[in-house]
Amino acid sequence: MEKKIPTNTITRDIKDLAAPTGNIYETVVILSKRANQISLAEKKELAKKLEDFRTDRDTMDEVFENKEQIEISKYYEKLPKPDLVAISEFENGELSYRMAQEDSAAAE
């Protein structure tokens, strides 16, 4: 089942985003790290799919628009941006995170 994530930016209340961590800056760091993870995963997946279309020779005669390649690229362009996915996961309680000071205090 696919998650319903908006593909455009919507206004959110900062207090609601800061509530789980108690600090908006900690929330922003968590969201930023998760968005980077999502972005890297999407890039790897896209590169893997586009690898099939790579040719050894790159002459002007061989550079044609490949319909399948264009469709794959369009699909990835229509996906929600990684930051919107990260925010949605955070708001739905789907992200797990831990604070560094909690880890160092537990180690003592």
Query: CA 87, CA 31: separation in Å to the nearest integer?
Result: 6
Query: CA 33, CA 39: separation in Å to the nearest integer?
Result: 10
Taken in order 33, 9, 14, 19, is the CA torsion positive or negative? negative
Beta-sheet strands, E only, within 1-108: none
- Please tell me the total number of residues recorded for the chain in this structure: 108
Each residue's pLDDT, cut to its tens digit, for the chain (108 residues) gives: 356 787 777 888 999 999 999 999 999 999 999 999 999 999 999 988 888 776 655 555 455 557 788 888 889 888 999 999 999 999 999 988 887 775 555 544
pTM: 0.74
